[in-house]
């Protein structure tokens, strides 16, 4: 190879490396020099019309230092407006603004300003639209998403107090004013994802019952459900019928309680944000959107509480182990997938949330502030108890659970 060609190759490599460095330098600078967007959003809810009217005051401030000294300006902004929004209006102090989108290559709306926004200046405008409230269960449970994007976002939601509401206390604070519930977002909240807001009507529930044959005689299981949810109720009744005899079999313990079982199709307000909740003699509240594995877990708690465990992690870990063992018999493929998912979630979260299980407790309400840490606790409890089951076998664990498990951290 001649000298000229070698020099040309070296020059090409140097140019390529320099270009890559320039790209990374520009990207880093761009991340540090971006406009600031402040959004003040009001959501007025009309449950009778199945509609939410959204009004936003937006302030776009040019804080991009690369545009200082009149080196550049902004004359447009990209904004997220939820799918399905109707009656969209975007306007400033001098009238309507031009906007377009979204398209295949443009997931956001493009809003054009009628003036140039130079460095240090700002432009204010308004966005209004209507959202359709989704009916999850007839007129009993309705929901819509609050989806905001911005550097500084404040949200206020107004709901007539004739309706019950589930809200995440980690995101909102609630007041009652003149016949309305007013929910104001907490200032520390970061709007990184959409949050579901559920509203509950006043429709009555219906019931179906069936006797389940167990070792000590018949047990009546009743499922309370919303009108129109008979198939859901029959499905959960069938799962209970299969699960209860299996729990007796795998534990070697007859159904330990002295009362019948009631399962109630519930909202997040009833379950305090959890998928389900076992309230002993008052029955099981099961979130309307959860699957049958959650019902099995809650049924298993009738046995775990009879064990008299000293620590919460044993109670929850055994309940999930029993859930796995029941699923192995009625849906082995799902049992394995669920187990693998729990192990994977445990491995993914332990670097950030690991703690001694003896110190773990479940919060009264599950919300954004404690969700991930609580999920990790459940997964670590299951992984620990499953590994003990794998090493010792269930019969040995049942005989020695108190002395064997307490020292584990």
The verdict on residue 26 lying in a domain is no
Are 150 and 129 in the same domain? Answer: yes
Give percent of the chain above pLDDT 70. Answer: 88
What is the per-residue pLDDT for 121?
Answer: 96
Q: With contact defined as beta carbons under 8 Å apart, do 200 and 165 qualify?
A: yes
pLDDT over threshold 90, residue 222: yes
Q: Quick: pLDDT tens for 154-192.
A: 999 999 988 888 888 888 999 999 999 999 998 877 777
Chain centroid to CA 383: how far? 22
The verdict on residue 269 lying in a domain is yes
User: 317 is in which domain, residue-wise?
Assistant: 308-409
Average pLDDT over residues 355-383: 92
Q: Quick: pLDDT tens for 289-338.
A: 888 999 999 999 999 988 888 899 999 999 999 999 999 999 999 999 99
Are 220 and 177 in the same domain? Answer: no
268: exposed, middle or buried (C-beta count within 10 Å: 0-12, 13-18, 19+)? buried
Q: Supply 14's token pair.
A: 């140097």
pLDDT over threshold 90, residue 55: yes
Give percent of the chain above pLDDT 90. Answer: 59
* Alpha-carbon torsion (287, 288, 292, 295), positive or negative: positive
Asked, as a colleague might, if the bond just before 350 is cis with ω within 30 of 0, I would say: no
What is the per-residue pLDDT for 339?
Answer: 97
Indicate the pLDDT class of residue 404, thresholds 50, 70 and 90: very low
What is the per-residue pLDDT for 162?
Answer: 86
Q: Supply 138's token pair.
A: 């007839």
Q: Quick: pLDDT tens for 15-40.
A: 333 333 323 223 333 445 789 999 99
192 vs 169: CA distance, rounded Å: 17
The verdict on residue 348 lying in a domain is yes
Are 184 and 242 in the same domain? Answer: no
* Alpha-carbon torsion (351, 353, 357, 359), positive or negative: positive
Q: With contact defined as beta carbons under 8 Å apart, do 311 and 359 qualify?
A: no
* CB atoms near residue 80 (< 10 Å): 14
pLDDT over threshold 70, residue 263: yes
pLDDT over threshold 50, residue 387: yes
Are 248 and 183 in the same domain? Answer: no
Last residue in a domain, options 200, 221, 244: 200
Which parts of 161-239 are beta strand (E)? Answer: 164-166, 172-177, 180-185, 195-200, 205-214, 217-226
The verdict on residue 31 lying in a domain is no
Determine the length of the chain: 409
Residues ≥6 apart with Cβ < 8 Å to 255? 214, 215, 216, 219, 244, 247, 248, 302
Are 245 and 179 in the same domain? Answer: no
Q: What is the CATH number of the domain that holds 292?
A: 1.10.390.10
What is the per-residue pLDDT for 12?
Answer: 37
191 vs 147: CA distance, rounded Å: 8
Are 349 and 242 in the same domain? Answer: no
| Domains held by the chain: number | 3
Are 115 and 231 in the same domain? Answer: no
Q: Quick: pLDDT tens for 106-144.
A: 778 999 999 999 999 999 999 999 998 887 776 678 888
Say if strands 51-61 and 36-46 run parallel, antiparallel, or are unpaired: antiparallel
What is the Rg, in whole angstroms, of the alpha carbon atoms belonging to the chain? 28
What is the per-residue pLDDT for 143?
Answer: 86
Whether this model's pTM surpasses 0.75: no
What is the per-residue pLDDT for 293?
Answer: 96
* CB atoms near residue 255 (< 10 Å): 22
Q: With contact defined as beta carbons under 8 Å apart, do 65 and 72 qualify?
A: no
Are 240 and 382 in the same domain? Answer: no
Are 235 and 247 in the same domain? Answer: yes
Last residue in a domain, options 303, 319, 341: 303
């Amino acid at each position: 190879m001649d000298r000229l060609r070698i020099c040309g190759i070296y020059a090409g490599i140097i140019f390529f490396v320099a270009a890559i460095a320039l790209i990374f330098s520009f990207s880093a600078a761009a991340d540090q020099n971006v406009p600031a967007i402040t959004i003040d959003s009001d959501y007025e809810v009309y449950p009778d019309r199945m509609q939410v009217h959204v009004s936003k005051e937006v302030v776009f401030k040019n804080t991009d230092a690369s545009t200082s000294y009149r080196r550049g300006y902004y004359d447009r902004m990209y904004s997220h407006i939820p799918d399905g929004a109707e009656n969209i209006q975007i306007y400033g102090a001098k009238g309507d603004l031009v906007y377009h989108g979204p398209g295949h290559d443009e997931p956001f709306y493009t809003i054009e300003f009628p003036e140039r926004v130079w460095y240090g200046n700002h432009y204010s405008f308004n966005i209004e639209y209507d959202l359709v409230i989704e009916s999850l269960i007839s007129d009993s449970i309705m929901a819509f998403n609050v989806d905001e994007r911005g550097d500084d976002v404040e949200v206020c939601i107004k709901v007539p107090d004739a309706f019950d509401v589930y809200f995440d206390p980690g995101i909102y604070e609630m007041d009652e004013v003149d016949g309305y519930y007013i929910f104001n977002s907490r200032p520390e909240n970061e709007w990184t994802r959409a949050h579901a807001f559920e509203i509950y009507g006043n429709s009555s529930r219906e019931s179906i019952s069936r006797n389940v044959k167990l070792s000590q005689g018949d047990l009546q299981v009743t499922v309370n459900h919303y009108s129109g949810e008979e198939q859901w109720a029959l499905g959960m009744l069938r799962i209970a019928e299969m699960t209860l005899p299996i729990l007796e079999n795998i534990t070697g313990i007859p159904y330990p309680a002295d009362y019948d079982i009631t399962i109630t199709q519930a909202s997040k307000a009833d379950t305090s944000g959890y998928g389900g909740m076992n309230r002993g003699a008052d029955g099981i509240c099961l979130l309307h959107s959860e699957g049958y594995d959650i019902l099995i877990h809650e049924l298993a708690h009738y046995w775990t509480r009879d064990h008299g465990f000293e620590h919460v992690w044993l109670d929850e870990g055994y309940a999930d182990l029993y859930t796995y063992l029941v699923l192995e018999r009625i849906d082995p493929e799902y049992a394995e997938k669920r187990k693998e998912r729990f192990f994977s979630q445990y491995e993914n979260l332990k670097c950030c949330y690991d703690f001694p299980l003896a110190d773990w407790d479940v919060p009264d309400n599950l919300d954004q502030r404690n969700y991930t840490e609580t999920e990790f606790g459940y997964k670590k409890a299951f992984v620990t108890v499953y590994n003990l089951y794998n090493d010792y076998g269930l019969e040995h664990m049942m005989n020695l659970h108190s002395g064997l498990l307490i020292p584990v951290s």
